[in-house]
Structure 1
Amino acid sequence: MALPLHGVRVLDLTDGLGESAGRFLADLGADVVRIECPGGSASRTAPPLRNGVSIPFALRNANKRGIVLDLDDDAGRDRLRDLASHADILVESLAPGYLAERGVGAADLCRVNPELVAVSVSGFGQDGPYREWASTEQVLYALSGGLSRSGEPGMAPLLPPTGPADESVGVHTAWSALLAYYDRLHTGRGQTVDISAFEVLVHGFDPGFGVQGSAAAGRSEDFPRGRPDAANFYPVFRCADGQVRIALLAKRQWRAMFEWLGEPAEFADSKFDTIPARFAASDRLNPLIEELFSTYTRDRLVAEGARRGIPIGGVSTVSEVLETEHFAVSGTFVDTEIAPGVSARVPSGYATIAGARAGIRTRAPGLGEHTDEVLGAVPADAAPVAAPRHEVGTRPFEGLRVLDMGVVVFGAELGRQFADYGADVIKIENAAFPDGLRQSKRGSALAASVAWGHRNRRSLGVNLRDPEGIRIFEKLVAEADIVLANFKPGTLASMGLSYDRLTAINPRIIVSESSAFGSVGPWNTRLGYGPLVRAACGVSAMWRYSDTSDGLCDGSTVYPDHIAGQVAATVVLAALVERLRTGTGTEIEVAQADTAIVQLGTILAAESLEPGSIHAPGNSDPYRAPSGVFACAGDDEWCVVTVRDDADWTRLCAVVGRPELADDPRFATTELRIRHRAEADEVLAGWLALRSPTEAMETLQASGVPAGAMVRLPELLTDPQLVARGAYTELEHEMLPAALPTAKQVAHFSTLPDWPLRQAPLSGQQTREICEEILGLSSAEIDSLVREGVLQPAAGDPALEEAASSTV
């Protein structure tokens, strides 16, 4: 299989943070050379380990070649400069300033090779007051605002399972690197890119000021101090042999559930067709559902839900996920060698391209395994790429046209990536089947999620259930570059818009389809929402206080919708790179379930190698102590602290005024501190209880100990690091009562401009404009199509009013 990034040369100097970016680029076909110091990367010993192998290192470095360079040696630095002179992309995640101090920083290497894209990834970015702070996945999650929304009311906030946050940083890094490279192909100039993992989590993982899921209609719009009671957003019920989750969002779904319950009189009122009314009555409604479900098995409930059109999903443990038939058939998992002599069942990769999985092909390299091969080769000149020329500083997607059929969070996030960077993104809408984001709980007012998610687009209202509507769409395809959709598998084909049909119209078209579970396997027709994906993939089972806890605490998150959209955008961008070489498009498929499983891959692979070893850890990091979420002075105030190693423990003991404990034999090693976790945690807990989260965080960070206060959403807008880096701006819309805080940027590019903030269109607002400009239709032709119900311009269009008056 010819992968889209074949021929792209990447140097990977990451260590832990950002490693999965190179893996993603390698999956897509890039030649990724992993560069390590003589003693090997610290991530080679990152837990969990099985058979002496670091599972995260093995997964995040598959498909790469590995070499050793000593960057404290002149010869090593010269070799790096030589490699950089022939490379396209460099990704590094060493401490800010580490490479620059040695004369081989990002800017230095871009001077060696002006076409190089040099990406620096760090916990907090290359500047700002937190620049030197230590970070861990848990610390970043606390600071991102996510922790304040996680956990059960009245209990400590709960950390999510490890993996998804770090892996999301890798996805954003791969996207940003490829975006700058695509820009270079058009401008001839590389650039530096600064990525803060903190900002990725704030803006791109599960943003508090970003597109929200359908259940947002039932949430309070203020910012309560305690955890939201998220159990009723997507409730979980016990059944005869486990647990299931239900997602009653659409009116038709509720009506089917009402019928299944025997049409109880107390819920017959039409007000219960709305999400807020059902949420408000959950104390009476949920017991009825639980009683009904109690006699059914999990599989029977899922099947009966599918028959009735009710979204129900089973809650699977990680061991069950590994044995799920659907994931075996779909190619989500492969049994493969991940280190010499060590094989495991592991996630293959994020995407399918032209019908083949772009996933794991070779195991992670041994230390220096390819040094002679890489350093001894004479680099060939890169094949020229014929790309239209752009001026430096323009938006990389200018001149591209995208037909965006995407809906809800995933669709909004995917299309926005191209709209923000200059593409003409045309949102295809049908008033009879509105995007879920447009179904506001505030009557005619615009939903904030529409303003966030649909900005910078144009909207075309067209009825694709009408043959004439299909013909109009096909004419647009002839002039387009990309088609995006996230319907149930087979929907486009059933409309006569299969990939074969679209590529016959336009061989250059790139078609990206996404769904919950993909088009292959027994679950391919399942109704899919993010909460059901999380439940099916093991995320929900790991996101609770313990294995025996009934409460699943992932109800308030939108994961994996945002990051799955980013995954799809990255694969589409890789296909655009390939199209510059070949002139032809391709077909892409991304299943949201595959995104969740890849990002939970370390946990799943560890369980496959040692069945029964993985449990829901709650707030305790099973591989480090002390660690977790600790109460601070004040009402519902918390701080996350992670002691990574013996050096952190020594520093912590000095900070809390107990230096003698650094020599206490009970705490001499990480293993011993884990064995005496309660005592080690108490050393920290007593000190934190007397301090505010901010004071504690700043004191610990000043000593090099990773710590992060639990930040509530409004506090993000005044966070010193985010303010210093210009992380937020305001988004206005004529139909909103006030401006919305919104991301100004995620990655910081040295030459790409900030995103524009053109307001989101009303449904069908540019219908006439698009039909005149692209299709060349006359006003009379458009009027006729409007009267026939084929075209759907925005309310107030004269032809709409004429059609309405003719029916009176």
Structure 2
Amino acid sequence: MAPAAEASASRPLEGVVVLDLLDGTVKALSRPYADLGARVIRVRPLGGERAAGDRREAIIHAVADAGKELVTLPHEPGERSAQWREMLEQAELVLVPYPRPTELDFPNEAVPERCVLMTVSMFGTGNAYADWQATDPVLHALSSELSRSGVAGREPLLPPGRLAFDCAMTQAAYVGMAAIYAAQLTGRGDRIDFSMLDGAVQALDPGFGLAGSATLGRSAKLLPPGRPVPGMLYPIFPCADGQVRVCLLAPRQWQNMFRWLGSPAQFASADFNSLEVRQQSGALTQAMAEFFRDRRKADLEQEGAEHGVPIAGVLSLAECLATDHVTARGVIGEVELPDGHKVRMPRGVIGIDRHVHSAAPTRHVPFSRPDGATPAQPLVGLKVIDLGVIVVGGEQSRLLADLGADVIKVESASFPDGTRHSYLPTGLSVGFAAGHRNKRSLGLDLRHPEGKALFLRLADEADVILSNFKPGTMESLGFDYAAINALNPGVVMVDSSAFGADGPWAGRMGYGPLVRAASGLTRKWCYPDDAEAFSDSVTIYPDHAAARYGAIATLALLARRLRTGRGGTASISQMEVMLDHFAPEIVGLANGVDDWDAPSDAPWGVFPASGDDEWCVVTVRGNRDWQALSRVLCRDDWATLPQYADRYGRLLNRAAIECDLTEWIGRQGSDAAMRRLQAGGVPAARMLRIADLPEFGYFRERGLFRAEQHPHLAEEVLAERFHAPSSNIADLPATPAPLMGENSAEVMRDWLALPPDEIERLFASNVLQGVAPEIARMLAEGEGRGEAMVSLKT
């Protein structure tokens, strides 16, 4: 391959054309494609776009357009029609809004069948909720995230920023990328009906999905009503120059903390190995508080690392951006906007080929396309080795398994996945079952010479290898990209970590709560009147969003492999996912715009309703919503009095307005208030809890959820039926999640053609682990279920 062609190939979506017709609320959806090298053409409507309402909105729009090409349609109908034909002939993905503005004059019938047409709306199309209005708070309320945000004894707290929209757009970008790959492979496009609420439910913090190890496998829908006690899971302690957050989950982490404390006798009991016991010990909390009080954040972080204690300072966003780590990683760079202006903002989330040096092939590598791929199952024939753990690892491989890939989850009896920590002896839970469906499990001792040799044989067969170990782990095992690439030049390797694969913080122990603390998010997630009421303690973010970026990266590199025959690598940093979601605010900080937490208008917030812990979100975005609210509440005085005539007047009278609105909602009830306001065109929503989701009218009509029965669980498993409704894909497959090592023997047979006696020998030497072949057969065939389970437990 010529040098110029090689440079071009380094951008995996080089040559892909995306037409973006979306409006300001969701047009950041297509930015990941531009970051990966696609030509993203954003089509502006006839007559131009609505002017931004304020500087914040202008920055949001500008950041969303970074890396894109702006096109204004000609006014003359014939010229406009010709330009549409030319663009559609090139496009592989077309993103259109619902409802479609008439000024776009978009020729829907002209979209070629080979092209993917994705309609993006707030609530989907063709249902009773299709014309409802949504804002970020509305999505938080209807996804159940709001019910888990805040602290005990207080009203639910709206999360900062635009996290619901940002995570939903990550899901949409993944869905679009999967459809692009499927169309390239099969020659058939798709018609997708994407709903932002569906996206937020799946990619923000799905209560029905894969959860962290701190839950011990218990379903999040069993959380008690109300908000959690502050610091319930990941406590924050004052120190000499701020606060630090500690994340003690595994018994070994507590033992490390115990030794760091000086091994005090009063906490020496083995009972303190229990997370629940530690949480309920006021004496331990007080002792840790005294231990941290007079020390500085940086010293505590260093000592914690030396003792093996997961700990991080609680930083502001500005403090995070000023750290040596962010500077060394080059997270913030100068980016040129379509109008020629340059701003300093996050460069993007996905790092492509950072690990590729001399190992990269310099010539075209012969590559055979996978057999059996169809528009409904485009990843059939792909072999994926999944070394991922906890939420990010589980989710990104599950997304690929849902589309037909043969995903082999490699596990170890000595170092079980944290999501296997369960109150059940099988290492299963409803969350694990939802997050690991459609996979097979291989128990393999990677520290044994024979285990390493077997892994390298598997890697030689693999199309994709996924990992999210602590940086350096793959290298220490001998499984770095250079080693694997020497065997398999077409392999795609994607890694994810808390703070990135390099930089001063790369070696830190990374859990989502620590990343949120270090990135500035935890400090922002507080009540306006209490800057230390940290309210993100039961949130799982950005794990699910980071997993989507991993899946996008995998599919983009596979698409490049279709074109060039070469593999490659991608790296995802959870901290950089968060910083990218706050890109507009980062640009604003450098340009004197710092009022990002102020409401856009009034009223804007969460209002009490009749009943126990019942709440309704109401958000007014401008004069149109304000006039609609005035009509619904029959308050002509609001619409006509001068002091209510503009946004500034309303903000000055916010207390009076919200008092009247609270009284009205109290008389209506949260559900009735939501429906009356939405019927009048006002963005509003009642706060749903996780247990409310399956029966809520929208989700029932949309058909998002399905109840699955796992053969080893008494409780039904709630899972999503689709990533997004499409003409190609109906229901996703639902093969039950495996027991640890349940498929070890069949994977050795299917991938490596090992004979039965060799498999038996590997089990006897504990190189292969998990369910022995005979028990696996009984489980697979449904014979002797009780006997097999007894054998498994022993």
What amino acid does structure 2 have at the position aligned with 1:126?
A: T
Matched, 1:499 2:476: no
| CA 632–459 in structure 1, closer or farther in 2 if over 3 Å, else same | same
Shift of 1:444: 4.0
Q: Which residue of 2 aligns with 1:376?
A: none
Q: Which residue of 2 aligns with 1:755?
A: 732
Asked whether the equivalents of residues 313 and 536 of structure 1 are also in contact (C-alpha less than 8 Å), the reply is yes
Of 10, 16, 26, the match for 1:18? 26
Asked whether the equivalents of residues 728 and 742 of structure 1 are also in contact (C-alpha less than 8 Å), the reply is yes
| CA 254–156 in structure 1, closer or farther in 2 if over 3 Å, else same | same
1:301-450 alignment runs, 5 A limit: 301-338=300-337, 343-355=342-354, 392-444=374-426, 446-450=428-432
Q: Provide the rounded CA distance (Å) in 1 between the counterparts of 2:559 and 2:482.
A: 21
Deviations 1:441-465 (A, max 9, x none): 3344522222111111111111110
Matched, 1:65 2:69: yes
1:159-308 alignment runs, 5 A limit: 159-217=158-216, 222-229=222-229, 231-281=231-281, 283-308=282-307
What amino acid does structure 2 have at the position aligned with 1:92?
A: V
| CA 547–345 in structure 1, closer or farther in 2 if over 3 Å, else same | farther
1:110-121 alignment runs, 5 A limit: 110=111, 113-121=112-120
Q: Provide the rounded CA distance (Å) in 2 between the counterparts of 1:350 and 1:544.
A: 26
- Greater alpha carbon shift after TM alignment, 180-189 vs 670-679: 670-679
Q: Which residue of 2 aligns with 1:550?
A: 532
Matched, 1:635 2:636: no
Query: SS in structure 1 opposite 2:225?
Result: coil
Q: Which residue of 2 aligns with 1:695?
A: 672
Shift of 1:518: 0.7
1:587-606 alignment runs, 5 A limit: 587-606=569-588
What value does the CA root-mean-square deviation take over the aligned residues?
A: 2.5
What amino acid does structure 2 have at the position aligned with 1:267?
A: F
Asked whether the equivalents of residues 604 and 620 of structure 2 are also in contact (C-alpha less than 8 Å), the reply is yes
Query: SS in structure 1 opposite 2:447?
Result: coil
Q: Provide the rounded CA distance (Å) in 2 between the counterparts of 1:401 and 1:562.
A: 22
Q: Provide the rounded CA distance (Å) in 1 between the counterparts of 2:315 and 2:572.
A: 21
What amino acid does structure 1 have at the position aligned with 2:80?
A: G
Q: Provide the rounded CA distance (Å) in 2 between the counterparts of 1:490 and 1:547.
A: 43
Q: Provide the rounded CA distance (Å) in 2 between the counterparts of 1:257 and 1:527.
A: 14
Q: Provide the rounded CA distance (Å) in 1 between the counterparts of 2:433 and 2:372.
A: 29
What amino acid does structure 1 have at the position aligned with 2:533?
A: G
| CA 696–719 in structure 1, closer or farther in 2 if over 3 Å, else same | same
Q: Provide the rounded CA distance (Å) in 2 between the counterparts of 1:270 and 1:18.
A: 51
Asked whether the equivalents of residues 218 and 279 of structure 1 are also in contact (C-alpha less than 8 Å), the reply is no
Asked whether the equivalents of residues 239 and 296 of structure 1 are also in contact (C-alpha less than 8 Å), the reply is yes
Deviations 1:687-739 (A, max 9, x none): 22222111111111111111011111111111111111111001221221121
Matched, 1:88 2:92: yes
1:640-655 alignment runs, 5 A limit: 640-655=617-632
Shift of 1:602: 1.6
Q: Provide the rounded CA distance (Å) in 2 between the counterparts of 1:266 and 1:748.
A: 57
Question: Percent of pairs identical after alignment?
Answer: 39
| CA 754–70 in structure 1, closer or farther in 2 if over 3 Å, else same | farther
| CA 141–46 in structure 1, closer or farther in 2 if over 3 Å, else same | farther
Q: Provide the rounded CA distance (Å) in 1 between the counterparts of 2:636 and 2:720.
A: 43
Asked whether the equivalents of residues 443 and 770 of structure 2 are also in contact (C-alpha less than 8 Å), the reply is yes
What amino acid does structure 2 have at the position aligned with 1:663?
A: T
Asked whether the equivalents of residues 355 and 569 of structure 2 are also in contact (C-alpha less than 8 Å), the reply is no
| CA 456–497 in structure 1, closer or farther in 2 if over 3 Å, else same | same
Shift of 1:548: 4.7
Of 736, 753, 761, the match for 1:776? 753
- Greater alpha carbon shift after TM alignment, 411-420 vs 285-294: 285-294
What amino acid does structure 1 have at the position aligned with 2:618?
A: V
Shift of 1:47: 4.9
Shift of 1:71: 8.8
Deviations 1:115-136 (A, max 9, x none): 1101111110112211000111
Query: SS in structure 2 opposite 1:730?
Result: strand
Shift of 1:315: 0.9
1:612-761 alignment runs, 5 A limit: 613-614=594-595, 617=597, 621-761=598-738
Shift of 1:73: 5.5
Q: Which residue of 1 aligns with 2:15?
A: 7
Shift of 1:755: 1.2
Q: Which residue of 2 aligns with 1:477?
A: 459
Question: What TM-score do the two structures reach when normalised by structure 1?
Answer: 0.90
Q: Provide the rounded CA distance (Å) in 1 between the counterparts of 2:644 and 2:775.
A: 78
Asked whether the equivalents of residues 171 and 202 of structure 2 are also in contact (C-alpha less than 8 Å), the reply is no
Deviations 1:455-490 (A, max 9, x none): 111111111101111110111111110000001111
Shift of 1:19: 1.1
| CA 524–665 in structure 1, closer or farther in 2 if over 3 Å, else same | same
Asked whether the equivalents of residues 217 and 428 of structure 2 are also in contact (C-alpha less than 8 Å), the reply is no
1:460-475 alignment runs, 5 A limit: 460-475=442-457
What amino acid does structure 1 have at the position aligned with 2:746?
A: E
Q: Provide the rounded CA distance (Å) in 1 between the counterparts of 2:172 and 2:775.
A: 47
Unaligned runs of 5+ in 1: 358-384
Shift of 1:166: 1.4
Shift of 1:395: 0.1
Unaligned runs of 5+ in 2: 1-6, 357-366, 777-786
Q: Provide the rounded CA distance (Å) in 2 between the counterparts of 1:62 and 1:536.
A: 26
Question: What TM-score do the two structures reach when normalised by structure 2?
Answer: 0.91
Q: Which residue of 1 aligns with 2:553?
A: 571
Q: Provide the rounded CA distance (Å) in 2 between the counterparts of 1:779 and 1:74.
A: 70
Query: SS in structure 1 opposite 2:120?
Result: strand
Of 32, 37, 56, the match for 1:29? 37
| CA 446–728 in structure 1, closer or farther in 2 if over 3 Å, else same | same
Q: Provide the rounded CA distance (Å) in 1 between the counterparts of 2:645 and 2:102.
A: 33
Asked whether the equivalents of residues 145 and 208 of structure 1 are also in contact (C-alpha less than 8 Å), the reply is yes
| CA 708–494 in structure 1, closer or farther in 2 if over 3 Å, else same | same
Q: Which residue of 1 aligns with 2:768?
A: 791
Query: SS in structure 1 opposite 2:769?
Result: coil
Q: Provide the rounded CA distance (Å) in 1 between the counterparts of 2:308 and 2:423.
A: 23
| CA 740–48 in structure 1, closer or farther in 2 if over 3 Å, else same | farther
Asked whether the equivalents of residues 20 and 171 of structure 1 are also in contact (C-alpha less than 8 Å), the reply is no
Shift of 1:272: 1.8
Q: Which residue of 1 aligns with 2:784?
A: none
